[in-house]
A = this chain, B = another copy of it.
Amino acid sequence: MRTQPRPPSTGRSLEHPDRDLIRLEDVLHALSDPMRLRIVCTLAGSEAEQSCSVFDLPVSKSTTTHHFRVLRESGVISQIYRGTAKMNALRRDDLEELFPGLLGSVLAAADRQAARRETAAR
């Protein structure tokens, strides 16, 4: 189903925890930050990988880098370099295998809360 050949990943590699080493506490901690939750929601909204730069976060670039690293090291996302860009993707399958339903309920909860906030603001 992949129609477009993607640029190959470059030599730079990034540390990812093995699936069996992902800890629930770390995942929950990673998701408990508003910026990171926002990143994860955005990532969940599209099937494809997203480069770091498409996220328009109200923090500096170095802080953004920090959040992506926390997400990667906790096992929530995977990252790979493609040229100068760094592509991000949710580790849906690994998380689903380890903690069935967890990611889905967190994403749904985040959506509901966003909707609630919108209603309250009106």
Contact = CB atoms under 8 A, between A and B. Distances in A.
B112 A28 contact: no
B24 A28 contact: no
Given A31-B28, A32-B25, A32-B28, A108 B101 contact: yes
A34 interface: yes
Interface residues of A, number: 27
A29 interface: yes
Given A28-B32, A113-B23, A102 B99 contact: no
A1 to B, nearest CB: 29
Contacts of A28: 28-29, 31-32, 37, 106
Interface in A3-29: 20, 23-26, 28-29
Interface of A: 20, 23-26, 28-29, 31-34, 37, 98-102, 104-106, 108-110, 112-113, 116, 120
Q: Which 9 A-B pairs have the closest CB atoms?
A: A99-B109, A29-B32, A28-B32, A101-B105, A102-B105, A105-B105, A24-B113, A28-B28, A28-B31
